[in-house]
Structure 1
Amino acid sequence: MGKLKVGVIGCGSIAQHRHLPEYAMNQNVQIIAVCDVVEERAQEVAEKYGAKVYTNYEELLQSGEVDAVSVCTPNYLHAPISIIALNAGVHVLCEKPIATSKEEAQAMIESAEKNGKKLMIAHNQRFVPSHQKARQLIENGELGKIYSFRTAFGHGGPEGWSVEGKEGWFFQKEKAFIGAMGDLGVHKTDLLRYLLGEEFVEVGAFIETSAKDFANVDDNAICVLKTESGIIGTLAASWSYVSKEDNSTIIYGEKAILRLEEDPTYSLVVQYATGESVNYKLGKIQSNENGGQVNSHIVEQFVESVVQEKEPPVNGEEGMKSLEVILAALRSNETKQITRV
């Protein structure tokens, strides 16, 4: 089979720093087309990758020129564009969160099934080496019974790295639907579901806009989560960590504590109940700080699932389950009650 012909819809920061460079690095891929409503932006990116320019995504999808696309648009367009793509017989790699509602997510999943096409959601936290190692340790029973966890994802906010700064869609509720919870929180619910191997059943949340007076979406959220077996913990998502970003997770079990991406040198530290501790140096997590040049493995996994005709590791169902936890958190914040997922 020839190379996979790929298009990228939306040429903002995530496309420029992750999707396009990772497609370009992939031997199985040819970047055919890019699309953005801002023509100059599309033009600039297209020149770099020798791609054709579109300003209308429907034209790109109906062109028959691409086998697969990345959807790197504001959140409110994830579902509409993905569905049109899947119905046009094009495989889809969609940025997170999958969509803005459960109904939209289900419609995307149905379109993928109906058309026999791949749908993958770009939850890259699963592919961070320390997170993969932690999952292995948990699966192998190294921690024994798991009691609790805490996880955080915070930085100074997207205005620092998004192509449009403060004017960007991230801060506009009608385009983004949610703020830090959709940008960062959903990554962490996905990670915890992956690490713990369980679904969340209940959520309580406080969700505020405290740092960004120009935004009408949340920039600080704290959630309390409970899994089906009764593991409880907290999740913080924030755009108000003004110095160093935090992307850490700690898991407390009966035999050991796992500290993930917390120590600057060791991406995984295992502290056993016996008092001994083991440090793993497993390569850095992707962050906006190191220029984002660490391979997120998302594109590689997506391309592999298309080429080898296998189920993507983060399919639509997984994306929807991770979104549902966030939707429950929003309901909890509104009703001031613990909410079932």
Structure 2
Amino acid sequence: MKVAVLGCGGLGSIHANIYAKLDGVELTGVCDIRPEVVQNISNETGAPAFASFEEMLSGAEFDAISIVLPTYLHKEYTVKAAKARKHIICEKPIALTPEQAEEMIATCRENDVQLYIGHVVRFFPDYVNMKAAIDAGQLGNPGVAHASRIGDHPGKARQWYYDKELSGGIIKDLMIHDLDFLRWTLGEVDTAYTQHTNRDGVEYALVTLKFENGAMANVEAHWGYPGPFHTKAEIAGTAGIVRANSLKSSSMNIVKQPSGEVGRAVVAVPGSPGFQSPFELELSHFLSCIETGAEARVTAIDAYRALEIAEAAVRSAETGKAVKVARRNI
């Protein structure tokens, strides 16, 4: 399969280098408006460099394209790529607003091309194993979850992150990883209630989700943290707790409740960290879905639902009230 990459920043570089090494994949073009950036990626991968999408469209053959641009450009270039009949792998979030996302999905349907959104957390082994443990009934009935995603402010490297009209802010850009994971794991969300602060280069949000099945989750996101980037997740059920912590080398464990026998020890079962990049797993999966027509682990509709939850959380921060998640038919 022939693939191109639009946007050669940090994640764009990752996409391009993965494609250049994947069996059965030919990277036929890389594109960025910054000449030195795109030339560096071209030198690394051997793919021709282009200065604009239009130039790459006329000068390179490709079946699929990775759109790895700032969020405010996702809709514009997804629509352009779909009209050119190219399959699309777009980084998360799908768009800044549900309305933009609806247009993206509709245009892809009209032009019979696939649209995949890079919610890569679904490909991290710890999170995959957590969901598997829940699906296997190891926790009994899940009822309470906590998730956090904490790191330095990306605006220090890319100024557009500071403008929520361009990035969507911390909830739509960073927390949306965990919003998607929790919906994937626990089901549809009913309401979101948010506490939020943003000042002096520090943005923090704490969102309480109530799920339609009665489960609850507290989700934390922090930009401007002075320490290392890290993530944590914990889901508790009627029969046990599953935890993941990126700061620990062996980060996932399941703690089972004693089965009723007096004095029986609690058993912890560690998970194994993966050796293959989650981004490589994700991109290989999406390309396979394009070739076979199989349903992806994360669909464009999944990404749309995650954005709906994020939108409700943002509106809650603005109003100070719990906001019901809109479940539009698309």
- When normalised by structure 1's length, the TM-score is 0.88
Aligned partner of 2:296 in structure 1 is: 312
What displacement does 1:60 show? 2.2
Q: Identify the match of residue 228 of structure 1 among 197, 212, 219.
A: 212
> Which residue is equivalent to 2:160?
169
**What pairs up with 1:115-130 in 2 under 5 angstroms?**
115-130=111-126
Aligned pair 1:108/2:104, yes or no?
yes
* Displacement after TM superposition at 1:167 (Å): 4.6
C-alpha separation in 2, matches of 1:156 and 1:263: 15
Identity in percent: 29
Confirm or deny: 8 A CA contact 2:98 2:304 kept in the other structure: yes
Mapping of residues 1-341 of structure 1, within 5 Å: 4-16=1-13, 18-63=14-59, 65-159=61-155, 165-176=156-167, 178-196=168-186, 198-212=187-201, 219-261=203-245, 264-274=248-258, 275-283=265-273, 295-341=279-325
2:262 is aligned to none
- Residue 273 of structure 2 aligns to a residue whose secondary structure is coil
> SS where residue 247 of structure 1 aligns?
strand
Deviation at 1:141, TM superposition (A): 1.4
Q: Return structure 1 stretches of 4+ with deviation > 6 angstroms.
A: none
Matching residue's letter, 2:76: P
Query: Across the two proteins, how many residue pairs are aligned to each other?
Result: 319
Code of the aligned partner of 2:201: K
Instruction: Indicate the larger mover: 134-143 or 52-61.
Output: 52-61
Change (3 A) 1:96 1:116: same
Alpha-carbon distance between aligned partners in 1 of 2:49 and 2:245, rounded to the nearest angstrom: 39
Q: Distance in 2 between matches of 1:19 and 1:147?
A: 37
Distance in 2 (CA, whole Å) between partners of 1:189 and 1:9 is: 26
Letter in 1 for 2:36: E
Residue 266 of structure 2 aligns with an amino acid whose one-letter code is E
Shift of 1:42: 1.1
CA contact (8 A) 2:195 2:206 kept: yes
Gapped regions of structure 2 (runs ≥ 5): 259-264, 326-330
Q: 1:315 & 1:61 partners in 2: Cα distance? A: 25
> What are the Cα deviations for residues 32-86 of structure 1, in whole angstroms up to 9, with x where unaligned?
1111111221122112111222222133235561111111101010111011101
Decide whether the 8 Å contact of 1:19 with 1:70 is kept in 2. yes
- Cα distance in 2 for residues equivalent to 1:199 and 1:7: 34
Q: Contact 1:181–1:221 (CA<8 Å) still a contact in 2?
A: yes
Judging changes above 3 Å, is the alpha-carbon distance between structure 1 residues 105 and 264 closer, same or farther for their aligned structure 2 residues? same
Tell me which moved more, 295-304 or 227-236.
295-304
Structure 1 distance, partners of 2:171, 2:223, is: 9
AA paired with 2:143?
Y
